[in-house]
Chain A
Amino acid sequence: MKPTILLGTRKGLIAYHFKNGKWQAENLSFEGTPVSIAYADPRTGDWWACLDHGHWGVKLHRSKDRGANWEEVTAPAYPEGAEIKEGMPATTRYIWAMAHGGQKFQSRLWIGTDPGGLFMSEDAGDSFQLVESLWNHPTRKDGWFGGGRDQPGIHSVVVDPRNENHIHIGISCAGVFESVDAGKTWEIRNKGLRAEFLPDPDAQAGHDPHILVAAPTNPDILWQQNHCGIFRSVDAGKSWQDIGQPEGPANFGFAIAVADDNAEQAWVAPANSDMTRTAIKGALCICRTDDGGKTWKDFRKGLPQENCFDIVYRHALVSSGEAVAFGTTTGNLFFSPDRGESWQTINNYLPMIYSVQFAD
């Protein structure tokens, strides 16, 4: 298990460190400011804070000393004249994903934003450029729309460690897009998904993958918690199979995590349907599959089972070895040392939690 948990919350970046057998608060940065994503780059150890100042715009900060000191770097910005729709200028409204570009491209970083722009840095984050090929994709202006946010947003960037120019991204709402040339060209990978909220559920674009992840041990195996169920692909997204439980609880939700040593094992954090977005029957559970989604078990030991309203946002459920952790919308942070079978509370009094990451 990696010994650090990094949180992006409604009121700042918070870090916990596992020491002497327990999680202890290590750092609080940007107190009072929403941190949409807190990200540790495993290659460098750099911490990144994606800030969402209500008044002053989206900002990006980097720390090379575990949050003791921060430097502001230029946040991704849309070029002059870029438009969300005709007559609607594009500006960075939110940073919703951050990923490093792999071992071969040590200076490469990816950022996904609302309103739907993907940005790439080739200078270790000193500057970011809009990936024009995706921004100019023929489906964007008419086929993408907001889901979870007012405008389309890229919340997932998955880099294939075998070929780090090969990436998948997840967009709400557009779906899964794949590039094999570091973003120069794109293929839509939504075959097998359902967009039940559209007149045509099999539309080419307009799907709502709440989060997209790949199995580290086999990056051709992709998982997504979708608005319309849980889906898995064994062919790098060329086709998707519905693996959710029709009657739940493993069906609707936002987050999914896949084991770093087993491509068949994954966790989801079920929620009531999109009508209410609350904990199911006032109780919190985490569901795990050990067989690629054929069956699911729900685990509740140590989690609240009454009067509970928590749900888990898309970046807030993660695993590391035997450990699993998740943070909730009502500021609870839970940790499991046994792959989700039992849970311990790290803190009940945090701000709303947007992102959780295990880090060194």
Chain B
Amino acid sequence: MPVVKFTYALKRFFPGLKDTPAKSVILSDVLDEIEMVYPGINSYILDEQGNLRRHVNIFINGSMIPDRAKLDSEVSEKSEIHIIQALSGG
């Protein structure tokens, strides 16, 4: 079962955030699943057009996803999906 891991920075807005298992095999469906668990979280990760926010990255098994709009990367039973923030700003 793939597991979604979140940057600590998101815990400021979602204090109950923890490693969360998912069932889906496509990243966009995984994000729909975590939205059900943490209502509102996708508005922090995606913009209103459904694209990954500019300063947010998603890695699957250590590799950055290639498409930030379709979010159609495949995930597998053992995938680790990391949702992280870019380190920018001051």
Name A's B-contacting residues (CB within 8 A). Answer: 53-57, 59, 72, 74-75, 77-78, 80, 82, 89-92
The answer to whether A91 touches B13 (Cβ under 8 A) is: no
Q: Which residue of B lies closest to A33 (CB)?
A: B12
Stretch at the interface among B20-28, B29-37, B39-47, B70-78: B39-47
Complex contacts, B79 vs chain A, CB 8 Å: none
Q: Which residue of B lies closest to A34 (CB)?
A: B89
The answer to whether B88 touches A57 (Cβ under 8 A) is: no
- List 6 tightest A-B contacts by C-beta distance, closest first: A77-B48, A56-B44, A91-B47, A55-B55, A89-B49, A55-B85
The answer to whether A56 touches B48 (Cβ under 8 A) is: no
A11 to chain B, nearest CB (A): 11
Interface centre among B51, B53, B56 (most CB of A within 10 A): B53
B64 to chain A, nearest CB (A): 16
The answer to whether B86 touches A55 (Cβ under 8 A) is: yes
Complex contacts, A72 vs chain B, CB 8 Å: 40
Complex contacts, B85 vs chain A, CB 8 Å: 55
From the candidates B43, B48, B55, name the one contacting A78 in the complex (CB within 8 A): B48
Complex contacts, B40 vs chain A, CB 8 Å: 72
A20 to chain B, nearest CB (A): 35
Grouping DSSP codes into helix (H, G, I), strand (E, B) and loop, the A interface class, with mixed when no group exceeds half, is loop
Name B's A-contacting residues (CB within 8 A). Answer: 9-10, 13, 40, 43-45, 47-49, 51, 53, 55-56, 85-86, 88-89
B1 to chain A, nearest CB (A): 27
Q: Which residue of B lies closest to A92 (CB)?
A: B48
The answer to whether A56 touches B53 (Cβ under 8 A) is: yes
Complex contacts, B56 vs chain A, CB 8 Å: 55-56
From the candidates B9, B47, B86, name the one contacting A57 in the complex (CB within 8 A): B47
Complex contacts, B10 vs chain A, CB 8 Å: 56
The answer to whether B49 touches A80 (Cβ under 8 A) is: yes
B31 to chain A, nearest CB (A): 14
Complex contacts, B86 vs chain A, CB 8 Å: 55
Complex contacts, A75 vs chain B, CB 8 Å: 43
The answer to whether A57 touches B49 (Cβ under 8 A) is: no
Complex contacts, A78 vs chain B, CB 8 Å: 48-49
B70 to chain A, nearest CB (A): 13
From the candidates A54, A77, A82, A92, name the one contacting B89 in the complex (CB within 8 A): A54
B38 to chain A, nearest CB (A): 13
Complex contacts, A89 vs chain B, CB 8 Å: 47, 49, 51
The answer to whether B51 touches A57 (Cβ under 8 A) is: no
Known: A55-B56, A56-B53. 15 other contacts (CB 8 A): A55-B55, A55-B88, A56-B10, A56-B13, A56-B44, A56-B45, A57-B44, A74-B43, A89-B47, A89-B49, A89-B51, A90-B49, A91-B47, A92-B47, A92-B48
How far does the alpha carbon of A54 sit from the alpha carbon of B56 in the complex, in Å? 10
With contact pairs A55-B9, A55-B55, A56-B13 given, residues A91 and B89 touching in the complex (Cβ less than 8 Å): no
Can you pick out 10 interface pairs between chain A and chain B where the beta carbons lie within 8 Å of each other?
A55-B53, A55-B56, A55-B85, A55-B86, A56-B13, A72-B40, A89-B49, A89-B51, A91-B48, A92-B48
How far does the alpha carbon of A56 sit from the alpha carbon of B89 in the complex, in Å? 13
Complex contacts, A77 vs chain B, CB 8 Å: 48
How far does the alpha carbon of A77 sit from the alpha carbon of B10 in the complex, in Å? 21
How far does the alpha carbon of A54 sit from the alpha carbon of B90 in the complex, in Å? 10
Q: Which residue of A lies closest to B10 (CB)?
A: A56
The answer to whether B89 touches A57 (Cβ under 8 A) is: no
A113 to chain B, nearest CB (A): 12
A130 to chain B, nearest CB (A): 11
Q: Which residue of B lies closest to A80 (CB)?
A: B49
B34 to chain A, nearest CB (A): 15
How far does the alpha carbon of A80 sit from the alpha carbon of B48 in the complex, in Å? 8
Complex contacts, B45 vs chain A, CB 8 Å: 56
B56 to chain A, nearest CB (A): 6
Complex contacts, A56 vs chain B, CB 8 Å: 10, 13, 44-45, 53, 56
How far does the alpha carbon of A53 sit from the alpha carbon of B10 in the complex, in Å? 11
A50 to chain B, nearest CB (A): 15
How far does the alpha carbon of A59 sit from the alpha carbon of B13 in the complex, in Å? 11
Complex contacts, A82 vs chain B, CB 8 Å: 49
B59 to chain A, nearest CB (A): 15
